[in-house]
Amino acid sequence: MELKPGYQQTEVGVIPEDWEIKEIDQICTPSKVRINPLTTITNHKCIELEHLSQGTGQLLGFADSNQLKSQKAVFRNGDVLFGKLRPYLKKYFFPEFDGVCTTEIWVLHPSPSVVNRWLYFIVQSDRFLDIANQSTGTKMPRAEWSIVRKALIPIPSTKTEQTAIANALGDADALIQSLASLIAKKRQIKQGAMQTLLNPYENGQLKMGWVVKKLSDIFEITAGGDLRKDEFSQTADENHQYPIYSNALTNLGFYGYCKSFDYSGSFITVTARGGVGFAVARNCAFAAIGRLLVLKPINDINCQFVSEYINLWIEFANENTGVPQLTAPQISKYEIAFPSKNSEQTRIATILSDMDAEIAALETKLAKYRHIKQGMMQNLLTGRIRLVQPGSNTGAIA
């Protein structure tokens, strides 16, 4: 394939002619500064691996460092942190303060030739992560610097271009974080609305017009069967049109598609193994597997209302000694409170459903922005897209 003007073929692929190829240890070095146990320090944040969000670069919290219990690594404002323990978790952070961290985190100090925020995005790149994941150990794999240090990285020849790349990706991060914060706020608002709208009591008394009944009084309760392998498909097509739901908590339990269905209409499914008790209102034709509990209304009752009530108020006791399980006889004994008028159930359910729809739309947008950022990284960190005109000597690397 013919190269575009201004580009060169290298061992890491096609990059701009004025870019260089360097090994990781030529652009950064892991700090060896340590503080020993029982050393007293003040006014420093102590970061453990659990404080770093997976794949977002966000700090979830920090510990008190006044009296250290184990050896810690020292980091400075502008260093780049990367979790070397189980590197596939993608735990990284760019601290804008001094502090200490677990020695399971690399403190990468940038060389004078690179912009520290550009290095921060390098450790997020597929190239760096692929090398870091060539770990040692099985149960608790760790990235080894002896392997990672030789990783080849394409590097812009000017700090001006490195800064431009870092700024563009930083703006994308800011947009993503802003949207993530909005989603968290919307979830808090919904939680507050649920606790108000689904609360059956007022001044210690059952609200007027509300009733209390066992689930077995208002639902027929059955359990899903085994997966029909001869009817299963991971994707929908002309012959596999009906969704299959399981006990999984992710993706609302969606498992795949089936040629036939077990249920059709308005139902509630409740997870019965592992993470038990998560309810989802269904209004479609579907199949259920893995002993997933299926609740069919006996009378005119709003399934969305009941599913929201179950998730908010009912804590199912584990009556088994092994893996948590929930059976039809067990769930049938639990009581719920609800407005006797279906119209009031529907009113409450609609408010909460609208909130869910708004949150889902924001989550879709967030996933799109994250995908866009990933594409930006692939283009900007390889020079496929240039933010600085070639030939500028501003900020050139010596």
pLDDT at 143 over 50: yes
Instruction: State residue 396's pLDDT score.
Output: 46
Q: What percent of the chain clears pLDDT 90, i.e. is strictly above it?
A: 85
* pLDDT single digits (tens) 333-365: 999 999 999 999 999 999 999 999 999 999 999
The residue among 40 and 53 whose pLDDT is bigger is 53
pLDDT at 305 over 70: yes
Q: What is the mean pLDDT of the chain?
A: 93
Instruction: State residue 274's pLDDT score.
Output: 85
Q: What one-character DSSP code corresponds to residue 3?
A: P
Residue 279: both structure tokens together: 């309810």
Kindly list the distances between the CA atom of residue 33 and the CA atoms of 23, 25, 59, 73, 115, in Å, as whole numbers in the listed order. Answer: 22, 17, 22, 6, 21
Instruction: State residue 390's pLDDT score.
Output: 77
Instruction: State residue 397's pLDDT score.
Output: 46
Kindly list the distances between the CA atom of residue 237 and the CA atoms of 100, 254, 258, 282, in Å, as whole numbers in the listed order. Answer: 54, 16, 10, 21
| Residues whose CB falls within 8 Å of the CB of residue 250, separated by 6 or more in sequence, listed in order | none
How far apart CA 280 and CA 213 sit, in angstroms, is 19
> What is the DSSP track for 147-171?
HHTT-EEEE-SBHHHHHHHHHHHHH
How far apart CA 377 and CA 336 sit, in angstroms, is 50
Instruction: State residue 398's pLDDT score.
Output: 36
At 48, is the pLDDT very low, low, confident or very high (cuts 50, 70, 90)? very high
Q: Which residue from 300, 292, 295, 301 is spatially nearest to 282, judged by alpha carbons?
A: 295
Residue 113 contacts residue 397 (beta carbons within 8 Å): yes
Instruction: State residue 70's pLDDT score.
Output: 87
How far apart CA 108 and CA 114 sit, in angstroms, is 12
Residue 140 contacts residue 149 (beta carbons within 8 Å): no
Q: What angle do CA 311, 317, 318 make, to 5 degrees?
A: 120
Entry pTM: 0.84
* pLDDT single digits (tens) 281-299: 999 999 999 999 999 999 8
Decide: residue 69, CB within 10 A, 0-12 exposed, 13-18 middle, 19+ buried: exposed
Residue 282 contacts residue 266 (beta carbons within 8 Å): yes
Instruction: State residue 69's pLDDT score.
Output: 81
Sheet holding 28-30, edge to edge: 28-30, 105-110, 80-83, 92-93
Instruction: State residue 357's pLDDT score.
Output: 96
The residue among 36 and 186 whose pLDDT is bigger is 186
* Maximum distance among all Cα pairs of the chain, rounded to whole angstroms: 79
How far apart CA 228 and CA 232 sit, in angstroms, is 6
* pLDDT single digits (tens) 224-273: 999 999 999 999 999 999 999 999 999 999 999 999 999 999 999 999 99
Sign of the four-CA dihedral 328, 218, 190, 356 = positive
Which stretch of DSSP H or E encloses residue 9? strand 7-10
* pLDDT single digits (tens) 186-221: 999 999 999 999 999 999 999 999 999 999 999 999
β pairing state of 263-270 and 242-245: unpaired
Contacts 24+ apart (CB under 8 A), 259-263: 259/228, 259/231, 260/228, 260/231, 260/287, 261/285, 261/286, 261/287, 262/224, 262/225, 262/286, 262/287, 262/288, 262/294, 263/287, 263/288, 263/294, 263/296
Residue 256's Cβ-side half-sphere holds a number of Cα atoms within 13 Å equal to 15
Instruction: State residue 320's pLDDT score.
Output: 65
Mean pLDDT, range 156-179, rounded to an integer: 96
pLDDT at 300 over 50: yes
Instruction: State residue 64's pLDDT score.
Output: 80
Torsion of CA 360, 365, 366, 367, to 10 degrees: 90
* pLDDT single digits (tens) 82-107: 999 999 999 999 999 999 999 999 99
Instruction: State residue 367's pLDDT score.
Output: 96
Q: Which residue from 288, 310, 306, 286 is spatially nearest to 298, judged by alpha carbons?
A: 306
Instruction: State residue 92's pLDDT score.
Output: 97
Instruction: State residue 323's pLDDT score.
Output: 76
